[in-house]
């Protein structure tokens, strides 16, 4: 935005780029619902009841999906954030956890091998798998995708042609990050 930036630009040796909102559109969408013993709408509504308390882009995607289905989103209490792991709240007097494998493991929530395989498949497709547990029981997985911006491939390609290596920075797990990086 100024002359000094242009002068410094010639000295760039590499570029680190944030994934969400820079390489991707920054407007994630729910793509998959994988319930475990509950109806899809119940899984989505319970997750949305917790996620409506968060400004995180993945949380907003869950809430938008529930609203898009005209689901009733219950009130939640005692909302808690677990940095890098997920969130929790009480919905209809039951503790609901919404997050990653680590959050589930730390709370003693087990899920079958078939679910782990489904999670891995979502991640291989570049999607983020959000796990949900209700009352200490695994309830399902929500797959969320944040598509690449149309300009990302070209921009990274141009940096490469200029001999400037790029690194993607993300809080996503290795599989999801790898899928986006391959794209």
Q: 18, 41, 77, 125: which is the annotated catalytic residue?
A: 18
pLDDT at 175 over 90: no
Separation between Cα atoms, residue 7 and residue 24, nearest integer Å: 28
Concerning whether 32 is annotated as a catalytic residue, the answer is no
Q: What is the mean pLDDT of the segment spanning 49-69? A: 95
Q: What pLDDT was estimated at residue 76? A: 96
- Whole-number Cα distances in Å, 96 to 32, 43, 99: 19, 11, 10
Q: What is the tens place of the pLDDT at every residue in 13-43?
A: 999 999 888 898 888 999 999 999 899 999 9
pLDDT band, residue 84 (cuts 50/70/90): confident
Q: What pLDDT was estimated at residue 174? A: 86
Q: What pLDDT was estimated at residue 155? A: 93
pTM of the model: 0.82
Q: What is the mean pLDDT of the segment spanning 95-101? A: 96
């Amino acid at each position: 935005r100024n002359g000094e930036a242009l002068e410094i630009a010639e000295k760039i040796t590499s570029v680190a780029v944030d994934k969400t909102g820079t390489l991707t559109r920054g407007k994630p969408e729910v793509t998959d619902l994988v319930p475990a013993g509950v109806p899809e709408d119940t899984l989505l509504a319970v997750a949305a009841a917790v996620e409506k308390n968060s400004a995180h882009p993945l949380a907003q995607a869950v809430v938008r999906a529930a609203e898009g289905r005209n689901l009733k989103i219950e009130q939640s209490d005692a909302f808690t954030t677990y940095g890098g792991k997920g969130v929790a709240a009480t919905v209809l007097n039951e503790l609901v956890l919404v997050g990653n494998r680590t959050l589930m493991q730390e709370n003693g929530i087990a899920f079958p091998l078939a679910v782990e395989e489904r999670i891995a498949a979502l991640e291989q497709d570049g999607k983020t798998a959000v796990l949900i547990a209700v009352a200490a029981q695994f309830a399902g997985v929500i797959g969320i995708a944040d598509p690449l911006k149309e300009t990302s491939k070209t921009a990274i390609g141009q940096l490469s042609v200029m001999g400037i290596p790029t690194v993607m920075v993300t809080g996503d797990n290795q599989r999801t990050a790898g899928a986006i990086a391959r794209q």
